[in-house]
Amino acid sequence: MSAAGAPAAGPGGDGRRPRVRTGYGTVEGRSGADGSAVFLGVPYAAPPVGALRFAAPAPPAAWDGVRDAGAYGPTAPKVPYPAPFAALLPDPEIPGDDCLSVNVWTPEPAADARLPVMVWIHGGSLTRGSSAVPVYDGSAFARDAVVLVSFNYRLGVLGYGLFPDAPANRGLLDQIAALEWVRDNIAAFGGDPARVTVFGESAGAISVGALLAAPRAAGLFTRAVLQSGAPEVLPRARVRTTVRRMASLLAADATAKAFTAVPLPALLAAQAAVLRRSGPLLGGPSLGLVTDPDTLPQDPLDALAGQAVSADVPLLLGWTREEHRLWLAPTGGLRALDRRGPLAVELARRRAGKDRSAVRALRAALPGAGPAELAGQLLTDRRLRDPLRRLAGAHRAAPSFLYEFGWPSAIPGLGSCHGLELGFVFDTLDVPESAWLTGPDAPRELAREMHAAWVRFATAGDPGWEPWDGSAPPKAFTAATDRRLPGSGVPVVFERP
């Protein structure tokens, strides 16, 4: 597809509804109070229905006239979060088939603006989430002279089920198609296709890690941010077993052809039943990225840490101090682990591949911590901190910057849990849904500070502190530097003063 053209009706359209001509047709967005513009629900691929349900993404159909881009498009098919998490994690569901769409916030929809671009990839364990989550509103990025793009991609078995008669990693192929749309069209919205930063959290960060290692994504972005997620793949046999268990429930063959014939509600119900006992910390049946000759030739962490793959892409990497609390506190898991006492710590130590000196160091750093806290920290090391430190410490041409988010939620039990930093990165603490995780009165000054660091990284490749070299002493943005985890090597901590 050729590059998109200039705005069809000038940067302001009719003064309230700016228009931009893309490679597939003209879209009409909405103007913000600050002069920025937002375009929602713009298709980057054809609806993945019928014969396309398990196919690689296909180009969208071109349209004549002007397409309204004033509302989010349909969300990808998914099942709701279970009750304990639904009260903490907003996840709107918008019906419809045309779910492969992008959203653009821009301060200046003019082809000659050439502003830095940030492309957001949402999390949700690759089974939930969407770009329509209110916390992901991109207005603050547009306010700060960055073009923000977000998009949906196929989830669960539709995006990551492994079949003998369908391409693997279809959700990743969707993400690559969205980035290709950005390359070909973002200049018309005021963005610079040569200055694209991809960033994501949790499963979105896992996706960014895969994009860094995927040959098809080479050249589509220049910087990357991984928030609370490390590059990983699942064993192919594990994903295949998950699909076979679904097939057994559905009384169908474990093929894309057979699953295409299954009504979508039944397919999602079978997925929910099989994945009910799985979890980020303890494993279980899973759907996710796998190695694949066509899309992901090798384990992305091995490729990025051991070779020159994406060695020239600056990285911003980090985590929250108490990631595990989101996964364990709402379900009573913390109490259950505390009841198991030293056995819980020992099992977590073994699963994390740590020696007993690591447990002693944790006890010294976290005096008074119970078994659940110690076990959670050990498992978080295995899942997040250790692989991200390995990536940051690899010999790369471009710098890597590490951070840790340490501000604790006002909601009892959550602490500085997984996902808590999102409203701060997007500077959307005023959005009501942000308080679902933060509780009331989250510090606006911290959001301004953290958001500004992400903007600096996208604009200049430097968030405002020294790159990590494996030995740099911790450097805090605020005075609160107590309870530092041993061996974290974190140069920046975001926390309430």
Q: Rounded to 5 degrees, what angle do the CA atoms 121, 457, 468 make?
A: 100
CA distance 76 to 363: 43
Q: Which of 28, 323, 404, 433 is catalytic?
A: 323
Kindly report each contact of residues 79-88 with a partner whose C-beta sits within 8 Å and lies 24 or more positions away, as own/partner.
Answer: 79/127, 79/128, 79/156, 79/268, 79/269, 79/271, 79/272, 80/128, 81/128, 84/330, 84/331, 85/330, 87/330, 87/436, 88/326, 88/330, 88/411, 88/414, 88/436, 88/437
CA distance 476 to 495: 8
Distances (CA, A) of 306 to 153, 216, 302: 29, 19, 5
List of residues 6+ apart from 169 with CB closer than 8 A: 160, 210, 289, 290, 292, 295, 296
401 beta partners? 316
| SS3 state at 238 | helix
List of residues 6+ apart from 368 with CB closer than 8 A: none
- Crossing angle of helices 170-185 and 203-213, in 10° steps, is 70
Backbone angles phi, psi at 360, to 5 degrees: -60, -40
Q: Is 180 a catalytic residue?
A: no
Give percent helix, percent strand, percent coil of the chain, each to the nearest 5. Answer: 35, 15, 50
Tokens of 138: 């991109």
Q: Which of 101, 202, 207, 434 is catalytic?
A: 202
| Catalytic residue annotation | 202, 323, 418
